[in-house]
Amino acid sequence: MNNSALGIFDSGVGGLTVVRAVQELLPGEDIVYLGDTARVPYGSKSPETIRRFSDEDVRYLLQQEVKAIVVACNTATAHALPMLQERYQVPIVGVIEAGVEAVLADPRAQRVGIIATRGTIASHAYQQALSLRRPDMVIIEQATPLLVPLIEENWIDHPATRQVLETYLQPLLDQRIDTLMLACTHYPLLVPVLQEMIGDRVRIVDSATTCALHLQQELRQRDMLAEPTRQGNLSIALTDLSEQFENLAKRFLHKCPPNISRVEL
């Protein structure tokens, strides 16, 4: 039993979809969330820069004495997770392994499309992890860099978003995918419009829910879960504060965020 807080970080506020899943599954856990909003996005930047930023994020969370860390950002998981796990003692969990499990949960998955930022796609992290477990699987990767800006603008229902999605999805549909992996923590907000566009033909999976399950297993194995009778607290630290980020946080969390503080890394 360990009542210390969990640390969860992302380049911005997208990782709050993971926070929401963790709160639902593990309501007794305190959570310290760090969003590096001063330097968001990570998805279009180089692996070297992403590793440097992620390392600074982890150091901040360790100063808050967290018991474990979730990298709630696909790009940071893809480029920095092995380095972070090697460098630090606390358990560090990423979103990619969870995403891979989510795809493999349906044994009928044969032709999988992956959509993600430029950085995540360039890492081929999903492709490699899936191919290792299922060498016969057909995997089609597609960088979709305009989706994060459109989601952050709350243009989910705008015709331009549909037009952008059509351009991005057509090559995947041409390849007759049966599964679409949303490999970015922002993308769960697009699920309603995606379902409307690709309907029943394609199963949509995302990593937020599976990531929470994966975290629960890790903590249980190490006897590090908080007392289940507790009521966990959430605190949010951002490296840049703006009204826009607060509005976004509300949409990602599905409720009003608690007090948000600004921190420097």
Pairing of strands 92-93, 111-116: unpaired
Give, in order, the Cα–Cα distances in Å from 241 to each of 58, 84, 210, 246.
20, 26, 30, 8
Single residue of 24, 59, 160, 170 touching a copy of itself by CB under 8 A: 160
CB of 184 to a copy of itself, least distance (A): 14
Pick the binder of a copy of itself from 24, 65, 106, 149 (CB under 8 A).
149
Cis peptide before 135 (omega within 30 of 0): no
Name the active-site residue from 184, 212, 237, 249.
Answer: 184
Shortest distance, position 160 Cβ to a copy of itself, whole Å:
4
Q: What number of other Cβ atoms are within 10 A of residue 255's Cβ?
A: 12
Q: Are 2 and 237 in contact (CB under 8 A)?
A: no
Q: Is 46 in the site for a copy of itself (CB under 8 A)?
A: yes
Which of 118, 124, 250, 251: binder of a copy of itself (CB under 8 A)?
A: 118
CB of 41 to a copy of itself, least distance (A): 9
Assess 155 for contact with a copy of itself (CB under 8 A). yes
Q: Give yes or no: 256 in active site.
A: no
DSSP label of 5? P
Question: What are the angstrom distances between the C-alpha of 252 and each of 57, 154, 192, 246, 257?
Answer: 20, 11, 14, 10, 9
Q: Does 171 bind a copy of itself (CB under 8 A)?
A: no
Does position 59 interact with a copy of itself (CB under 8 A)? The reply is no
Give phi and psi for 50, each to the nearest 5.
Answer: -65, -40
**Is residue 221 within the footprint of a copy of itself (CB under 8 A)?**
no
Task: Kindly indicate which of the ranges 144-152, 180-188, 205-213, 220-228 contains the residues binding a copy of itself, using the contact rule CB under 8 A.
Answer: 144-152
- Report how many residues bind a copy of itself under the rule CB under 8 A: 27
The nearest distance, CB 17 to a copy of itself, in angstroms, is 20
Q: Are 22 and 219 in contact (CB under 8 A)?
A: no
Mention every residue, 6+ apart, whose C-beta is less than 8 A from residue 85: 92
Counting contacts by CB under 8 A, is residue 240 touching a copy of itself?
yes
Instruction: Give catalytic residues, as residue numbers.
Output: 73, 184
